[in-house]
Amino acid sequence: MAVADEVAVTSGGTANSATGARLADDLAAAQALPLQLRRGALTMFSHVPADRFSEGKLVYVSDDLSFDTVDRRTQGVSSILINDINIELSGGGEAIAVWGLSPQSSWQQGNVAKPESQLGKVLFRHALTPGVSIRVTRPSEYWPVTYDPSSGWIYVGLDSGVPNRAIEFVSACVVGLREGQVCGLWLHPEFQ
């Protein structure tokens, strides 16, 4: 399947060649984004203080080897991928959920604590293409996943991922930002 066809199917529509070309251009721009992030040329997220976080509860479904945010009413249109974990984004670019594959067999054990964080909204600052995820980590460059059985916290990120700001945007989901870029994800799911 051609890239344009893939994008057209993912975005839920059928496309003529002009639409397919536009969608292919959008996909190419989205795929180029992480390279710009690595060069530090782009501020990806901004933080808006709030007195509460997005609705939903984070769970880890052992049989599915994956995270999910349940009990939420809002659905997203796109996502940011860290490894195979999605930070789901609303049409307005707000981070609203976490879900995705993360086999426990790939986790390492270590000390993990929730960072000092603020409640708030995390907003993606660039145009979204519905149905197209933007990958922060390439498969060959996945970030380590560290699980602390005593605290129940999971950290997805590099040791050098010390954030300037940590925001709890969904209950038990904290994203670390450094200069507007994702540098880590802390999760405290209910295991099912």
Strand ranges across the sheet with 173-178: 45-49, 118-124, 165-170, 173-178, 181-187, 154-157, 145-147, 108-109
Instruction: Give yes or no: residues 75 and 163 share one domain.
Output: yes
Q: Is the pLDDT of residue 87 over 60?
A: yes
- For 3-46, the pLDDT digits (tens) are 222 222 222 333 344 444 544 554 454 444 443 344 343 457 77
122 lies in the same domain as 51 = yes
Same domain, 92 and 16: no
Q: How far apart are CA 85 and CA 80, in angstroms?
A: 8
72 touches 55 (CB < 8 A): yes
Per the CB < 8 A criterion, the answer to whether 176 and 116 are in contact is: no
The pLDDT tens digits of the residues spanning 115-165 come to: 999 998 888 888 889 999 988 888 899 999 999 999 999 999 987 667 888
Write phi, then psi, for 51 (nearest 5 degrees). -90, 0
One domain for residues 23 and 83: no
Amino acid at 47: H
pLDDT for 101 beyond 90 = yes
Distance from first CA to last CA of the chain, Å, rounded? Answer: 36
Tell me, what's the pLDDT at 130?
93
Q: Which range of residues forms the domain containing residue 66?
A: 43-191
Mean pLDDT, range 104-116, rounded to an integer: 95
Query: Taking all residues of the chain, what is their mean pLDDT, rounded to a whole number?
Result: 79
Distances (CA, A) of 134 to 49, 78, 83, 147: 24, 8, 11, 25
Residues 24 and 105 in one domain: no
In a shared domain, residues 73 and 146: yes
Question: pLDDT tier at 52 (50, 70, 90 boundaries)?
Answer: low
Same structural domain for residues 49 and 137?
yes
Looking at the structure of the chain, the number of domains it has is 2
Instruction: pLDDT band for 74, please (50, 70, 90 cuts).
Output: confident
